[in-house]
């Protein structure tokens, strides 16, 4: 091919890649073109051409940098945030957590704080507030938040203890030398050992080993669903016990499960990791009242991960 | 996972457009939005960064009407292509029922196609799904650029690169012109509904 045609075709390619946002590819082609132009001795407007190309390359470099250094999860419009809530969460807690997963921490905190008033969601909302604070600020902020809750009366001792056992291992993992104070009422229980709640906390397998699990996939190893994996959202978690609300429409999936059954193939999904493990059915109850009437509540005790 | 409401005889399922950055996923959805007015049931929402790059995802709800007595609604999503959004890709992929893999026919994007397909496989695996079992359709996009003298891979080469083992239906396309967009989506929806039928026997 005629060299000027070759150059023209390279520039043509470069221009198209640039227009399509393929900046590194465009840059390569501009480079190749300018190498070729350099080699031609008598070209009328050689200098101008080379200057124009190097200008293009510079602007591409700027654009590339902008893309690469741009925030990976900028604050979205309220409309965008609402969409995320509706598409990625079913209940209010999941909706707030979805915001956090998409990096919308400020709004997530606002929504989670509102959920602190709700008995059902309080502890999980608290843990997720801690998680958001660590994401946008620092572990110190999360620790401050714990101290604030400890001084206030929003949480009872049991609930606070659950938050403490969530946060302390994170602090430890980060190598920060800080010990969160145990809520007073919990200390009493542990000391007297009279209450079963207290004994539970001094059990050899501490709750803190279990990450927050947002959903699980159960692969049935027997029965009509044998070999099939079904995903369920975890509605509540208290340490190693997961509660799933299973809609009456899906009750066929859990019909054959009964208390004491072992589930040997479970995939756990948590915001920071996914892992396999086993669990035992701790309880299966039909919800008889309220908006979830007719649905089932399945409690699973995680036995190993 | 698809949501079934067997009492109301409604199914809502999720189809995700996957592929390397700038291969034309958003353009596919835009074309569907423009050209299938009857099926489109809501706004197309794009969450973009500066410079029209998909940041989190695009979303478009469509309805197929009644099929075998069931009202079928489909949520179409795209994922962002840039490497740094891998966690978003994973979130969007969760519970997916069918996938359109949009591959870029540009020769210079050959490797990016393969990396993205590999990424799809490993993300599916983390959800306990196999790329060999999930309803999957390939689209070899930007075929129109052949006319402009831009180096493209041949269909045979793309099949060899991406589809040798998978052997899924594949279609050439040009999302800007709209060619191949409809047939890709229709085939994907058919495969998706077939697979949901095998699993859940919703059609009588
Ligand atoms: N010539 C041509 N350009 C296309 C085609 N599909 C997409 N593009 C262009 O490729 C660029 C990236 O497309 P986009 O849909 O944003 O890609 P995404 O990152 O996969 O969502 C845009 O400039 C589009 O106009 C096509 O079929 N032919
Ligand atoms: Mg896009």
Nearest-angstrom CA–CA distance, B113 and B134: 19
Structure tokens at B78: 């795209």
Q: How far is B49 from chain A (nearest CA, A)?
A: 8
B4, part of any domain:
no
| CA of residue A189 relative to chain centroid, distance | 34
- Assess if residue A190 is contained within a domain: no
- Structure confidence at residue A210 (pLDDT): 61
The pLDDT value recorded for residue A232 is: 85
Q: Do A274 and B126 touch (CB under 8 A)?
A: yes
Instruction: List chain A pLDDT tens, one digit each, 305 residues.
Output: 688 889 999 999 999 999 999 999 999 999 999 999 998 888 888 899 999 999 999 999 999 888 878 776 778 888 889 989 989 888 999 999 999 888 899 999 999 999 999 999 999 999 999 989 988 888 899 999 999 999 999 999 999 999 999 999 889 888 899 999 999 876 555 444 333 332 222 222 333 446 678 788 888 877 777 888 888 888 777 777 888 888 888 888 888 888 888 888 888 877 656 678 889 998 888 877 666 778 888 888 888 77
pLDDT at res. A194: 36
> What distance in Å separates the CA atoms of residue A216 and residue A300, rounded to the nearest whole number?
11
Instruction: Write the residue in A28, A66, A249 that is nearest to B6 by C-beta.
Output: A249
For residue A80, the chain B residues in CB contact (below 8 A) are: 45, 47, 56
What is the model's pLDDT at position B167? Answer: 96
Show the 3-state SS of chain A: CCHHHHHHHHHHHHHHHHHCCCHHHHHHHHHHHHHHHHHCCCCCCHHHHHHHHHHHHHHHHHHHHHHHHCCCCCCCCHHHHHHHHHHHCCCHHHHHHHHHHCCCHHHHHHHHHHHCCCCCCHHHHHHHHHHHHHHHCCHHHHHHHHHHHHHCCCCCHHHHHHHHHHHHHHHHHCCCCCCCCCCHHHHHHHHHCCCHHHHHHCCCCCHHHCCCCCEEEEECCCCCCCCCEEEEECCEEECCEEEEEECHHHHHHHCCCCCCCEEEEEEEECCCCEEEEEEEEEEEEECCCCCCCCCEEEEEEEEEC
What domain range includes position A163?
Answer: 78-185
Cβ atoms A88, A57 nearer than 8 A? no
Tell whether B115 is within 8 A of chain A (Cβ). no
Asked, for residue A197, whether it belongs to a domain, the answer is no
User: What is the rounded distance in angstroms from the CA atom of residue B106 to the CA atom of residue B84?
Assistant: 22
User: Per the domain annotation, does B47 fall within a domain?
Assistant: yes
Place of tokens 């009588």: B204
For residue B154, what pLDDT band results from cuts at 50, 70 and 90? very high
pLDDT of amino acid B102: 98
> B3 lies in a domain?
no
- Average pLDDT of the segment spanning B134-160: 97
Give tens-digit pLDDT for B77-99: 999 887 778 888 988 999 999 99
Are A37 and A110 found together in one domain? no
- Residue with the larger pLDDT of the pair A192 and B180: B180
Structural domain contains residue B1:
no
pLDDT on residue A228? 81
Residue A129, in any domain of the structure:
yes
Contact between A21 and B22 using a beta-carbon 8 Å cutoff: yes
Number of domains making up chain A: 3
- Residue finishing a domain among A17, A49, A69: A69
Structure tokens at B204: 């009588």
Ligand 1 pocket by C-beta < 6 Å: which residues?
Answer: A 20-21; B 19, 21-27, 54, 78, 81, 141-142, 144-145, 174-176
Whether residue B2 lies inside any domain: the answer is no
Chain B interface disruption, residue of A1, A12, A13, most B CBs within 10 A: A13
Tell me what pLDDT residue A195 has: 35
Are A85 and A180 found together in one domain? yes
Structural domain boundaries, residue B21: 9-200
Helix (H) or strand (E) holding B62: strand B54-67
Q: Last residue of some domain: A47, A69, A91? A: A69
Q: Which of B91, B96, B77, B45 is nearest to A100 (CA)?
A: B91
In terms of domains, do A170 and A243 share one? no
């Amino acid at each position: 091919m005629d060299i000027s045609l070759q150059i023209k075709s390279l520039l043509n390619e470069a221009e198209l890649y640039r227009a399509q946002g393929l900046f590194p590819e465009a840059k390569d082609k501009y480079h190749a073109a300018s190498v070729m132009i350099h080699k031609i001795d008598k070209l009328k407007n050689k200098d101008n051409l080379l200057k124009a190309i190097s200008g293009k390359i510079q602007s591409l470099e700027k654009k590339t940098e902008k893309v690469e250094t741009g925030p990976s999860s900028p604050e979205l419009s309220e409309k965008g945030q609402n969409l995320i809530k509706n598409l990625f969460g079913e209940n209010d807690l999941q909706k707030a957590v979805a915001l956090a997963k998409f990096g919308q921490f400020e709004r997530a905190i606002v929504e989670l704080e509102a959920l602190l008033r709700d008995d059902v969601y309080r502890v999980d909302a608290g843990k997720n507030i801690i998680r958001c604070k660590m994401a946008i600020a620092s572990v110190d902020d999360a620790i401050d938040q714990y101290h604030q809750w400890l001084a206030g009366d929003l949480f009872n001792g049991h609930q606070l203890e659950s938050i403490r056992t969530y946060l302390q291992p994170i602090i430890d993992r980060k190598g920060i030398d800080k010990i969160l104070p145990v809520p007073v009422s919990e200390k009493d229980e542990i000391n007297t050992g009279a209450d079963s709640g207290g004994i539970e906390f001094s059990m050899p397998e501490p709750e803190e080993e279990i990450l927050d699990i947002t959903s699980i996939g159960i692969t049935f190893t027997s029965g009509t669903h044998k070999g099939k994996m079904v995903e369920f959202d975890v509605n509540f978690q208290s340490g190693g016990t997961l509660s799933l609300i299973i809609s009456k429409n899906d009750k066929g999936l859990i019909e054959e499960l009964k208390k004491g059954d072992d589930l040997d193939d479970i995939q756990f999904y948590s915001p920071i990791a996914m892992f396999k493990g086993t669990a035992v059915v701790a309880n299966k109850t039909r919800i008889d009242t309220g908006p979830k009437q007719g649905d089932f509540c399945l409690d699973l005790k995680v036995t190993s991960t | 996972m698809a949501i079934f409401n067997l009492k109301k005889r409604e199914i809502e399922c999720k189809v995700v457009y996957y592929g390397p950055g700038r291969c034309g996923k958003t353009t596919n959805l835009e074309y569907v939005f423009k050209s299938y007015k009857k099926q489109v049931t809501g706004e197309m929402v794009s969450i973009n960064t500066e410079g029209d790059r998909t940041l989190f995802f695009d979303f478009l709800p469509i309805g197929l009407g009644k099929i075998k007595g069931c009202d079928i609604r489909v949520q179409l999503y795209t994922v962002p292509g840039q490497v740094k959004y891998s966690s978003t890709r994973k979130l969007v992929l969760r519970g997916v029922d069918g996938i359109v893999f949009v591959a870029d026919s540009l020769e210079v994007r050959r490797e990016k196609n393969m990396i993205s397909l590999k990424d799809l496989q490993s993300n599916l695996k983390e959800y306990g799904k196999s790329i060999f079992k999930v309803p999957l359709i390939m689209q070899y996009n930007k075929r129109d650029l052949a006319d402009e003298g831009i180096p493209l891979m041949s269909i045979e080469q793309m099949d060899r690169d991406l589809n040798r083992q998978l052997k899924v239906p594949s279609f050439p396309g040009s999302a800007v012109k709209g060619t191949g967009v409809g047939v890709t989506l229709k085939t994907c929806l058919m495969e998706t509904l077939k697979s949901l039928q095998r699993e859940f026997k919703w059609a009588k």
